A and B are shown apart, each in its own frame.
Chain A
Amino acid sequence: MTDGTPPSEPDRASGPAGDAADRGAPGAPAAPAAGARTRVSGGFGRYLLKHVAGAAVSLLLVLFSSFFIFRLIAGDPIDQLTRERPVSPEQRAAMRAELGLDQPMWKQFWDYITGTLTMDLGDSFQYRRPIFDLIVERLPATLLLSGTGMVLAVLLGFWIGARAGWRQGSRFDRGQVATGLLLYSAPTFWLGMIVILVFARYLGLFPVNGMRSPSTPPDFWSQAVDIGHHLVLPVLTYTAVVYAGYLMIMRSSVLDELGGDYLTTARAKGLRDDEVRRRHAVPNALLPTVTLVFLALGSVVNGSIVTETVFSWPGLGSLFVQSIFYPDRPVLQALFVLFSASTILAVLCAEILYWFIDPRIRRTG
């Protein structure tokens, strides 16, 4: 896994529950606890406005930093574009004018911002096509792979995590935590290579890479089966590496609920242990974890970049990696903004969702 945070319990502390309390401070005046309990500060409109504004500032920062990284640190792209052939100074000047590099820096920045906001992302150096078209073309493959992988990882991780936490210290718990940690410690790309070696090369059960075979008939069902066949190994790899993170989150969330009085009440009513877990403990434990799924989008992006590259999956992640070495700077820049923006928007969604699923946040703002 290439995400920055290992699956440890304090992750939860920095999750939305902790966040909400922390972030309340700058916007709303910190009301004393007793006062906060009686008076709702702000309301949804204000909460929404605050977080949308925060996300907007973050997005603006992404645009600034991408301009900074790719235009200022990176230097003149003409040298890289013309490295194979000799060019006269006039040709260089013409290319610079075509790319808008002869303009003053502030003008370039302005053009860049307005271009990005109107989806005019320029042309790719390697494909000589508009980047927007490239992204639209490759987005479905990425969504298919990372969407399937993420749903599987969340379901598997939550399912095992809830059971492991419920029976803390049991053989099942220790075994599952150990397995999860072991898989989490494996580098995604390496696991992918091993999976290819075993399942595609030795056993020949699945295709080695790509998303579809050229020989498949063009009708819908044959295509769907073929893509599904190609999808198995990448999804397997991706899920194996990331599900442990969700497992640990869910497990510690259940652990937090274990001592709850309402569980004793439920047991006293005569409910079976299984029912107490399913109907009472898990719904409460889910609360802090639901938004973490959104917050983890950064690691989803990381994982899909590596997985797509190992399996030559024709998505945005492999396009990003492929553009490093060309170097296709406009594509790198556009994808940098796209990936970062999507994680920022996911966090915004998590914050908005949190308002609806956790009434406690309405007191603190």
Chain B
Amino acid sequence: MTAVPTSPRALRRARTRQSLARSWAAYRSQRAGMVGLVLLSAIVVLAVAAPLLVDQSQLSVTQATGGRMEPPSAEFPLGTDEVGRSILALTLWGSRLSLIIGLTATLAAILVGTAVGVTAGHVGGWYGWVALRVSDWFMVLPSLVVAIALLAVLGRSMGTTILVIALVSWSGTTRLVRAQTLTVQARPYLERARALGAGHWHQMTRHVLPNVLPLVLASATLLVPSAILMESSLAWLGLGDPNVVSWGSILNRASDNGAVSAHAWWYLLPPGLAILLVVLAFMMCGRALEAVFNPRLRGEGA
């Protein structure tokens, strides 16, 4: 920023750095966004460090040491489940799966959504029309119904869960990206690029995509919480992978084993609050990002 850059590449890098710094400053001024970021980092650290904090053997049904649904004690700070496993250990380990599924499904949805959206906006014509109709169709269908129907026939596993969540969530991104692509396309510098002989691929990847990505980032951050909520709902309904522990599957076991009628609040609160906190953290970050990147909302410091 201080020295005058010489080569075009250095110039570009300097500009990127500058705009990143600007965005970061704008983000930092939003208190809710910063709170969300801190909360989120804490959760991610806990999820990554889970194997160091709690040994995996504590998740084993056969090696459980506690009694049936014991209330919190010194040995089990958050009590035990119906086979005597520590709820604390389960909740810690559950964070890994909930985050992995939420992030992977969102990533898949965002990739497909962005690709379809940019091409639909750029190419237009027949293809654009069909792509728009299909994504509209997916947007209208009740997502949980589609997810349940697909999981019921595809079978329960982590892979299918990720697949169906991605399938029911890509359409919003497509719509957003397509609209933004159309806006960018109308700008003069794209006309200049075309006049200089830029091909479709060059236009899409070098000009349209960089302008669309910030919005995609904001919408991805808001898509993760709904993916996590969807995963937990599916797992709670009993459609999760039976071999792994997620927050939804802990609550599924809690309902199946009568934790509510046993007044076992320590069985219900930790996984549920964990979902709530993660979703809230992502939502706070996403809303702050949106306020930074979405020109429609600029100036509204909510």
Are B225 and A6 interface neighbours, CB within 8 A?
yes
The distance in angstroms between the C-alpha atoms of A335 and B142, with both chains bound, is 12
> Cβ of A243 < 8 Å from any Cβ of B?
no
Contact present for A185 and B149 (CB under 8 Å): no
State how many angstroms separate the Cβ of B41 from the closest Cβ of chain A.
18
Say whether A283 faces chain B, with CB atoms less than 8 Å apart. no
Residues of B within 8 A of A306 (CB): 144, 233, 237
Judge whether A10 and B300 touch: CB under 8 Å.
Answer: no
Interface flag for A193 (CB, 8 Å): yes
Contact of A340 among B141, B148, B269 (CB under 8 A): B141
Q: B149, B152, B179, B229: which contacts A187 (Cβ < 8 A)? A: B229
Q: What residues of chain A lie closer than 8 Å to B146, measured between beta carbons?
A: 336, 340
CB <8 Å contact, A321 and B148: yes
Whether the Cβ atoms of B279 and A194 lie closer than 8 Å is: no
CB contact between B144 and one of A197, A202, A305 (< 8 Å): that residue = A305
Give, as a whole number of angstroms, the nearest-CB distance from B188 to chain A: 19
Closest to A12 in B: B296
- B283 interface residue, CB < 8 Å from A? yes
Task: Indicate if the CB atoms of B176 and A10 lie closer than 8 Å.
Answer: yes
Query: In the complex, what residue of chain B is closest to A181 when comparing beta carbons?
Result: B283
Please tell me if the beta carbons of B286 and A10 are within 8 angstroms of each other in the complex: no
A70 to B129, CA, bound (A): 28
Q: A344: CB under 8 A from chain B? A: yes
Given contacts A339-B142, A344-B140, contact A3 B283 (CB under 8 A): no
CA distance A5 to B168 in the complex (A): 11
How far, in Å, is B108 (CB) from chain A's closest CB?
14
User: Taking CB as reference atom, which chain B residue is nearest A177?
Assistant: B302
Closest A residue to B170 by beta carbon equals A4
With A182-B280, A339-B145 as given contacts, are A14 and B169 in contact (CB-CB < 8 Å)? no
Contact code string B239-271 (vs A, CB < 8 Å = 1, else 0): 100000000100100110001110101001101
Residues on A with C-beta less than 8 A from B300 are 9, 168, 255
B297→A9 contact, CB < 8 A: yes
- Of residues 143 through 170 on chain A, the ones whose CB sits less than 8 Å from some CB of chain B are 168-169
For residue B272, CB closer than 8 A to chain A, the reply is: yes
C-alpha gap A18/B296 in the complex (Å): 13
Given contacts A301-B142, A305-B145, contact A13 B179 (CB under 8 A): yes
Contact status B283-A6, CB under 8 Å? yes
Q: Please, which residues of chain A bring their CB within 8 A of the CB of B230?
A: 2, 4
Quick check: is B122 within 8 A (CB to CB) of the other chain?
Answer: no
**With A301-B145, A306-B144: A327-B272 Cβ-Cβ less than 8 Å:** no
Closest to A325 in B: B238
Question: Could you say which of A193, A327, A344 contacts B251, with CB atoms under 8 Å apart?
Answer: A193
Does A91 touch B at the CB level, under 8 Å?
Answer: no
- B30 contact set on A, CB distance < 8 A: none
Are A302's CB and B144's CB within 8 A? yes
A298 close to B (CB within 8 Å): yes
Asked if A190 and B272 make an inter-chain contact with CB atoms under 8 angstroms apart, the answer reads yes
A22 touches B179 (CB 8 A): yes
A-B pairs with beta carbons under 8 A, tally: 189
B-facing mask of A191-212, CB < 8 A → 1, else 0?
1011011000110000010000
* Contact in complex: B276, A186 (CB < 8 Å): yes
How distant is the Cα of A169 from the Cα of B107 in the complex, in angstroms?
33
From B137, B143, B149, B269, A61 is in contact (CB under 8 Å) with B137
> Across the interface, do A321 and B237 meet the contact criterion of CB distance under 8 Å?
yes
Q: Does B219 contact A (CB under 8 A)?
A: yes
> Which residues from 141 to 169 on chain B have a C-beta closer than 8 Å to any C-beta of chain A?
141-146, 148-150, 152-154, 168-169
* B179 touching A18, Cβ below 8 Å: yes
Question: Is the pair B226, A201 in contact by a Cβ cutoff of 8 Å?
Answer: no
Which residues of the partner chain B approach A73 to less than 8 Å between Cβ atoms? 153-154
Q: Mark contacts of A55-66 with chain B using CB atoms, 8 A cut-off: 1 yes-contact digit, 0 otherwise.
A: 001100110001
> Is A69 a contact partner of B140 (Cβ separation < 8 A)?
no
The listed residue with most B CB atoms (<10 A of its CB), out of A74, A197, A255, A321, is: A197
Look across to chain A and name the residue whose beta carbon is closest to the beta carbon of B147.
Answer: A2
> Chain B nearest CB: distance from A77 CB in Å?
11
Is the Cβ of A4 less than 8 Å from the Cβ of B286?
no
Chain A CB within 8 A of B172 CB: yes
In the bound assembly, the distance between CA atoms of A342 and B284 in angstroms comes to: 33
Check if A108 is an interface residue, CB within 8 A of chain B: no
Q: Which residue of A lies closest to B232 (CB)?
A: A187
B294 to chain A: which residues have CB within 8 Å? Answer: 9-10
Chain B hits for A347, CB < 8 A: 140
B-contact 0/1 string along A3-29, CB 8 Å cutoff: 111101110011000100010011000
The residue of chain A having its C-beta at the shortest distance from the C-beta of B237 within the complex is A321
Chain B contacts of A10 at CB under 8 A? 176, 219, 290, 294, 296-297
Bound CA span A295–B175, Å = 15
Whether A324 lies near B237 (C-beta < 8 A) is yes
Closest chain B residue, CB of each to CB of A305: B144
The residue in chain A whose Cβ has the minimal distance to the Cβ of B263 is A201
A289 contacts partner chain B, Cβ-Cβ < 8 Å: no
Show 14 residue pairs from A and B whose CB-CB distance is below 8 angstroms, ordered by the A residue: A2-B229, A3-B143, A4-B172, A6-B225, A6-B286, A9-B290, A14-B176, A173-B302, A185-B275, A186-B275, A193-B259, A197-B268, A295-B140, A320-B145
Further 5 A-B residue pairs, CB within 8 A, beyond A10-B290, A298-B141, A302-B145: A4-B169, A22-B179, A168-B300, A185-B283, A299-B142
Q: Please list the residues of chain B having a beta carbon within 8 angstroms of any beta carbon in chain A.
A: 129, 132-133, 137, 139-146, 148-150, 152-154, 168-169, 172, 175-176, 179, 219, 222-223, 225-226, 229-230, 232-233, 236-239, 248, 251, 254-255, 259-261, 263, 265, 268-269, 271-272, 275-277, 279-280, 283-284, 286-287, 290, 294, 296-297, 300-302
